Chains A and B, each alone.
Chain A
Amino acid sequence: MKKLNFLLIVLIFSLLSCTKDPLLMLIPKHKKTVLKNGLHVYFFEDHKLPTINFYFVTKTGTIHEPHNLKGLVSMTTSLLLEGTHNKSSTELAEALEFLGASFSASSGYDFSSMNASALSKDTDKILELMSEIILTPTFPDKEITRLKEETLASLKQIPDDAGGFASALFNLYVYNKHPYGTLLSGTSETLKEIQRKDIVEFYKNNFTPKNSILAVAGDFKTNELAQKLNHYFEKWENKKITLPTINAAEDIKKNKIYVVEKSLLTQSQIRIGNIALPSGHPDFFSYLVTNHILGGAFTSILNQKIRNDLGLTYSIHSSHTPSLHKGVWRISTFTRNETLNKTLQEIKNILDNFNTLVTQEELEKAKADLLGAFVITFENVDDFATQLMKLDIFNIKHDHLKYWRRKVQNITLEDVRKISKKYWNTDKLIITILTDSPLKEEIIPFKGDLIQTHFQNIHF
């Protein structure tokens, strides 16, 4: 058995130290090491339940794919589970599921993820399977063909879910030609171009220890597990990765209104938004609170007015998702077709008059809600483990988590009004409406370029 001293322990820390500030977030005791192969690992021991979770992230996302091979990351991550040097796809599924374990792999725009869960009594077995999946995938031709067909079918089915369809359309329109605008799964055009050699090459050049982070949470002993990880991932070849440079998404310069027609819908889907902040931006906390007041909570201004007072919808909310190269801010709702105009008008009124509508009371309510929700969100060590990895991916210091509540608490009404003025201009929005028939211009209170099309003209 290999010993712990083979490991290079770069950092061991505990943030459980006493503090008198009740707003500081206490990150549970954990360790961080770097394995011999260069893989950074967080260990969060928690013996409450006999379970173990492994969270892998690889710092390559779909934005790093070649333009003509969109879908490559998705194909590559999915295919990890479709065959190894000594197990077929079916045998692999059988082996994992017999343990009651799960292993999932997925792609994101900025990074890719893998997650394995098992009972802690099966730690060795799941480690063996994980190392086989990550180190020796075979990418069989027949699985590539099958997966492509499956993905093409799923792409055709997107319009079946009106809400998902509207969101995909908005993403496409708001990001225009930026890589964030393409679906994670690629398009019917680009999928056809992906060959096995592209997948193998992409895997070798991106799925490496130095380009990845692992966090383990659950019932284990850190020293023992660290030795096991060194053993099972010893042959994972390290390699220096150079990711392509990605430009920031372009801000919206003027309103564009996209109306997509799909007959027999009795409700119209509405998505309104623009390009927002990159991760780590200094305005993050002000923006977070401001958006929470607008539509980030059930008690927000949008929900109070449009759902509770006027009964125009069952759900309305606004969200802000920062990304490495600029995220999006978006209002999402739906309403019956007859009240589309009224709903759009109310949204516009609220955006135009936000700085008058927002009060100290609204601000305090939003802050209290955010502060409470933050505590509730971090219920398990798993929540901390995954959050720390994400901070690493987004190049944000861990103090972000520690001081999160304090920074929210410090936001003032003046900060909120500045954000609204700076980022929410009703002349610089992308407005996407999915409805049952073409719309006359007077139905839409926002002024700007109106582009109408039938859903069958849209091909993902």
Chain B
Amino acid sequence: MFFKKIFFLVFTLPFLCFGALDLKVQEHVLHNGLRILLYEDHTTPVISYYTWFNVGSAHEKKGQTGIAHLFEHMMFQGTKKYGKKQYDTILANHGGQNNAFTSQDYTAYYVNIPSEHLELVMDLESDRMVNLNVTQENLTSEREVVKEEKRSRYDNSPFGKMYEVIFPLTYPENHPYSWPTIGSMKDLNSLSVEECMNFYKTYYAPNNATIVLVGDFDLKKTLELFEKYYRNLESQNISVLPQPESVKQKKEKIKTIYFTTQSEMMITAYHGTSALSHETYALDVLGTILSDGKSSRLYKKLIYEDQVATGISAAHNGNKLAGTFNIRLIMKPGLPIQKGEKLIIQVIENLKKNGVTENELQKSKNQILSSFLFGLKSKENTAYSLGANQIIFGDYRHFFEDIDKYNEVTKEDVLKVAQKYLHHNNKNTVYLKPLQQ
């Protein structure tokens, strides 16, 4: 998974290549199973505090799609101690910025705040981890907010509409990635307080969470605070999500939808591999060679030379249980999508026949290296990286190996994954065509 890999690597590269960065991450596990990762950075008087839960839309049951994300919203509604919607107000009163996000595999909450308010953040976060107050009133109101989010990001957005179709097209009905994180309107409308509370009790527990703290703090004092605020939280029995069977697709699947756009668009998802697979490194390099920058193969062909498209991207998206290699295309208005698709296939088939050059391979590695280093500039990115590694791989130290893994990728590896995954019968395509007004 290229995006996540970027963050994994940021820590190792400076350490290995430049010897200037000494990232001493402290790991502690409380008796109730709460994992804490700490990295001190005193450059500015600020901390970034991430709380990760090992739960995402993949953990949802049929008929409850969207509950993981809706619940993320509910986490801001208040507890007995800190009343209705007080969380944001209290943080704002102390200069804190906060937000949260939900993916298929995880849900994360973060606060960036002047470091003097660390204890306040711990108080708020430990409290809402177990004492949330879910009422019919705040569920009703927040459900409408989430439905507006869905209308904005999916129903009224060309790519959102396509994403809503590509998931069920790509994965079989019983696969946990076969629905989008936002869920369906029908399920959102039917979710009850009881279902929310069950979800909360099942997954929001210290032994299903990882806290990452990066920034300006005193280690000894901070560990005492963690004991003070989190030690009494009770752990829960968390069942591990079973690994679904890998998808064996025999034939290309296609769906066409219509929307009021000026251009024809397309998403193609080839079945790829889980983020945990070794092949993900070669797939990331392949994505870079195909569409990262103006000298990449697809950009050069479709946008620069043949001038048929205004947007093209290709990247492997590897999640915990499975992954897809996605190609997104936006045509110039008036040009048929098939014209662009034909050119994409030409580029891919050429690569599968002749492989990549040594120059392309090295360029890709240089681009990845550069991205890692620039990503290190922010405390928030650092905290994100540590948490994402811990959640996806079960060990934040995974990233220490990544630089070597990228450097080990050969031309043959790239050719092999291109031939293995980018073939006709392995792909799923959604076309979006303009609806005549």
- Please judge, given known A-B contacts A99-B366, A267-B151, whether A297 and B92 are in contact too, CB under 8 Å: yes
A165 to B331, CA, bound (A): 19
- Please judge, given known A-B contacts A49-B21, A299-B89, A379-B378, whether A369 and B95 are in contact too, CB under 8 Å: yes
- Please judge, given known A-B contacts A93-B295, A266-B155, A379-B379, whether A313 and B367 are in contact too, CB under 8 Å: no
**B94 in contact with A373 (CB, 8 Å):** no
Q: Does A372 contact B (CB under 8 A)?
A: yes
Interface residues of A in 156-182 (CB under 8 A from B): 156-157, 159-163
Q: Can you list, as one digit per residue, whether each of B363-390 has a CB less than 8 Å from chain A (1) or not (0)? A: 1001111110110111100000000000
Q: Can you list, as one digit per residue, whether each of B236-268 has a CB less than 8 Å from chain A (1) or not (0)? A: 000000000000000000000001111100000
Closest to A298 in B: B88
A98 to B260, CA, bound (A): 40
Determine which of B46, B330, B362, B437 lies in contact with A376 in the assembled complex, contact meaning CB atoms within 8 Å.
B46
Report the contact-size class of chain B (Cβ under 8 Å from the partner): 35 or more
**B263 in contact with A160 (CB, 8 Å):** yes
A377 to B39, CA, bound (A): 20
**A49 in contact with B89 (CB, 8 Å):** no
- Please judge, given known A-B contacts A100-B366, A100-B367, A375-B44, whether A157 and B377 are in contact too, CB under 8 Å: no
**B92 in contact with A376 (CB, 8 Å):** no
Residues of B within 8 A of A264 (CB): 259-260, 435
Interface residues of A in 230-263 (CB under 8 A from B): 262-263
Count, chain A residues at interface, CB 8 A: 69
The residue in B259, B373, B378 that gathers the most chain A C-beta atoms within 10 A of its C-beta is B373
Q: Does B114 contact A (CB under 8 A)?
A: yes
Q: Does A378 contact B (CB under 8 A)?
A: yes
A119 to B303, CA, bound (A): 28
**B294 in contact with A93 (CB, 8 Å):** yes
Q: Can you list, as one digit per residue, whether each of A314-346 has a CB less than 8 Å from chain B (1) or not (0)? A: 110000000000000000001110000000000
Given contact pairs A97-B367, A308-B145, A378-B44, a sample of 17 additional A-B residue pairs in the complex whose CB atoms are under 8 Å apart: A49-B374, A94-B295, A100-B368, A100-B369, A117-B374, A149-B307, A150-B307, A157-B261, A157-B333, A160-B158, A160-B262, A264-B259, A265-B260, A311-B148, A335-B148, A365-B93, A382-B377
Residues of B within 8 A of A297 (CB): 92
A287 to B300, CA, bound (A): 47
Residues of A within 8 A of B323 (CB): none
Residues of B within 8 A of A50 (CB): 14, 17-18, 20, 373
The residue in A160, A161, A370 that gathers the most chain B C-beta atoms within 10 A of its C-beta is A160
Residues of A within 8 A of B158 (CB): 160
Determine which of B95, B260, B304 lies in contact with A373 in the assembled complex, contact meaning CB atoms within 8 Å.
B95
**B377 in contact with A380 (CB, 8 Å):** yes
**B437 in contact with A456 (CB, 8 Å):** yes
Q: Does A277 contact B (CB under 8 A)?
A: no
Residues of A within 8 A of B300 (CB): 90
Q: Can you list, as one digit per residue, whether each of B69-91 has a CB less than 8 Å from chain A (1) or not (0)? A: 00000000000000001001100
